[in-house]
């Protein structure tokens, strides 16, 4: 069950011609999930900054 | 945990006898569509909380979960389309499963657009909750579409009651990927809802005191 399914790195990339489909799906998926985390973190930082400025001015 | 499931599935799971290596898309596609439906179901529960008991948090959670649901449904549709090219010879087919999942994606976008189009946020919350409750009818349609209609999409390979037709060497990394994506989306949901609660409650004293 834990034997590598491929002989070398080129086989991992190529996957008998299916590598382009497999790796593009995982690249896009990982990018979108990662981007969502960045947007959420930035949104929290921005609103906390606004609240801090508001607190300081009042 | 998600990386463990993906690494196991991509590098260590054996090649499929029929589909070759293209089946490895399953470790992203299946978890995505499972959570596309579960997030909508969660939103429907929140919508009922908001409409029946007037719990504001229900609306806040819907507004926070909808972009995540849209993103994960998009990943599910995209991965299915790309998987379809080597497997079915086409990237799109208007069959019941795929079309009902596309409707789910449009519902997510519709919910976000509807909420964004009102300046009165309380009214927007109420209308958004009503739309979420109406749209929940699509979830059992997606689930049962492969049984009710003759579709290009294959029937479910795993069921809660009836076991699985997938070999354990492929099933275990799939289950780990599902659990891993679940934890990832829960973390994203916590971040996203925290941010939206700050936005909506920014003028309240408890927010000022806790920032």
Instruction: Give domain limits for chain A.
Output: 19-57
Please list the pLDDT of chain B residue by residue as tens digits (211 residues). Answer: 999 999 989 999 888 888 888 999 999 999 999 999 999 999 999 999 999 999 999 999 999 999 999 999 999 999 999 999 999 888 988 988 999 999 999 999 999 999 999 989 999 999 999 999 999 999 999 988 888 877 777 777 766 666 677 888 889 999 999 999 999 999 999 999 999 999 898 878 787 777 7
CB contact under 8 A, A12 and B6: no
| Single pTM value for the model | 0.92
CB contact under 8 A, B79 and A29: yes
Total CB pairs under 8 A between chain A and B: 102
- Mutate which: B25, B172, B187, vs A, most A CBs within 10 A: B25
Chain A residue with CA closest to B191: the answer is A40
Instruction: Give domain limits for chain B.
Output: 23-155+167-205
Q: What is the ipTM of this complex?
A: 0.90
Chain B residues in contact with A15 (beta carbon < 8 A)? 20-22, 24
Task: Tell me the C-alpha to C-alpha distance, in Å, between residue B106 and each of B71, B90, B142, B203.
Answer: 11, 22, 14, 33
Comparing CB atoms, the residue among B32, B169, B207 nearest residue A1 is B169
CB contact under 8 A, B32 and A29: yes
CB contact under 8 A, A43 and B74: no
- Residue B182 touches chain A, beta carbons under 8 Å: no
CB contact under 8 A, A6 and B6: no
């Amino acid at each position: 069950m834990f034997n590598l399914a491929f002989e070398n790195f080129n086989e991992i990339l190529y996957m008998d011609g299916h590598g382009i489909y497999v790796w593009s799906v995982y690249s896009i998926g990982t990018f979108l999930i990662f981007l969502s985390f960045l947007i959420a973190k930035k949104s929290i930082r921005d609103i906390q900054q606004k609240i801090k400025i508001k607190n300081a001015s009042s | 945990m998600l990386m463990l499931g993906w690494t196991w599935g991509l590098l260590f799971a054996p090649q499929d006898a029929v589909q070759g290596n293209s089946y490895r898309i399953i470790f992203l596609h299946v978890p995505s569509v499972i959570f596309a439906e579960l997030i909508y179901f969660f939103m429907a529960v929140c919508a009922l909380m908001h409409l029946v008991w007037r719990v504001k948090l229900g609306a806040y959670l819907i507004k926070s979960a909808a972009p995540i649901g849209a993103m994960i449904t998009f990943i599910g549709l995209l991965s299915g389309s790309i998987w379809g090219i080597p497997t079915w010879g086409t990237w799109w087919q208007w069959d019941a499963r795929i079309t009902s999942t596309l409707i789910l994606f449009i519902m997510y976008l519709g919910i976000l657009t509807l909420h964004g189009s009102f300046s009165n946020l309380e009214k927007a919350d109420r209308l958004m909750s009503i739309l979420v409750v109406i749209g929940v009818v699509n979830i059992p349609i997606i689930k049962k579409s492969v049984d009710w209609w003759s579709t290009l999409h294959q029937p479910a390979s795993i069921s809660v009651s009836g076991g699985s037709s997938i070999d354990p060497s492929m099933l275990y990394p799939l289950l780990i990927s599902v659990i891993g994506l679940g934890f990832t989306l829960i973390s994203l949901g916590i971040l996203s809802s925290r941010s939206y609660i700050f936005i909506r409650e920014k003028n309240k004293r408890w927010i000022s005191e806790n920032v």
